[in-house]
């Protein structure tokens, strides 16, 4: 495996995308960015490039680190897509608990699944073949749907069953539930995509 310019460019694109969407999440949580947006976006793009380069260096010790760095960055991008749409729906409806939370999370996770398929197929796991796209996408969808069910279930459990502790706003707790689910499901997705969907 070699570090190519496109790896750095794709890393920068993902980092910039995170930088563009993250402020909307912060805004819904009434959290101010610590630095101006014109610095925040390039800083995240540069950080993403450094993360990819670090993964490449570590791949000299264990080859999977480079792939894991790309997958991890895509995972962060997907999390921001997921939480960005989730927050947009919460903001637009002013609903932060109840059955609609599961509906919001379903829409946001589906958007992240589509983003994930494209980036993981062509960059993280580098499967260029298009001959078996139907079968491959079906396998990807199966792994992702299990991830979706886990994601929605964990989110709904944290938000509706555990509920917001005293002193934590409902919208903040809804985000804690969504983020907790996304982080927990990340391992399931990596293993499923690597060994079942994009196996070589």
Q: What is the pLDDT of residues 66-125, one digit of tens each?
A: 988 998 899 889 888 888 888 888 888 988 888 898 899 889 888 888 888 888 888 887
Structure tokens at 179: 């983020």
pLDDT band, residue 46 (cuts 50/70/90):
very high
Q: Is 170 exposed, middle or buried (0-12, 13-18, 19+ CB in 10 A)?
A: middle
pLDDT band, residue 21 (cuts 50/70/90):
confident
Residue 64 or 52, more confident: 52
Structure tokens at 92: 């637009």
Helix H or strand E segment including 200: none
Q: What is the pLDDT of residues 153-198, one digit of tens each?
A: 999 999 989 988 888 888 888 888 988 888 888 788 878 887 877 7
Integer angstrom CA distances of residue 106 from 119, 120, 132, 191? 20, 20, 27, 22
Residue that the structure tokens 């196996």 belong to: 199
3-state secondary structure 75-135: HHHHHHHHHHHHHHHHHHHCCCCCHHHHHHHHHHHHHHHHHHHHHHHHHHCCCCCCCCHHH
Distance, CA of 15 to chain centre: 12
Contact 19, 29 (CB under 8 A): no
Residue that the structure tokens 């989730």 belong to: 86
**What is the model's pTM?**
0.72
First vs last C-alpha separation in the chain: 14
Structural domain boundaries, residue 11: 5-197
Residue among 188, 34, 168 at smallest CA distance from 159: 168
Number of domains composing the chain: 1
Q: What is the pLDDT of residues 123-140, one digit of tens each?
A: 887 766 666 677 777 888
Q: How far apart (Å, rounded) are the C-alpha atoms in residues 112 and 80?
A: 8
Residue 45: how many other CB atoms lie within 10 Å: 21
């Amino acid at each position: 495996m070699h570090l190519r310019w496109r790896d750095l460019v794709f890393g920068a694109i993902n980092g910039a995308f995170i930088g563009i969407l993250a402020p909307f999440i912060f805004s819904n949580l009434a959290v101010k960015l610590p630095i101006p947006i014109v610095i925040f976006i390039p800083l995240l793009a540069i950080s993403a490039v450094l993360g990819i380069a670090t993964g490449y260096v570590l791949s000299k010790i264990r080859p999977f680190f480079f792939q894991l760095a790309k997958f991890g960055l895509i995972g962060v991008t997907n999390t921001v897509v997921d939480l960005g749409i989730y927050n947009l729906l919460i903001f637009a409806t002013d609903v932060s608990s109840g059955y609609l939370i599961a509906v919001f999370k379903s829409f946001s996770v589906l958007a992240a699944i589509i983003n994930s398929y494209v980036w993981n197929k062509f960059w993280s796991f580098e499967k260029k073949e298009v001959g078996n796209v139907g079968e491959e996408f079906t396998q990807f969808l199966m792994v992702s749907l299990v991830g979706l069910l886990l994601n929605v279930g964990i989110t709904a459990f944290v938000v509706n069953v555990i509920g917001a502790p005293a002193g934590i706003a409902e919208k903040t707790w809804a985000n804690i539930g969504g983020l907790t689910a996304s982080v927990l499901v990340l391992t399931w997705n990596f293993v499923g995509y690597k060994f079942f969907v994009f196996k070589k």
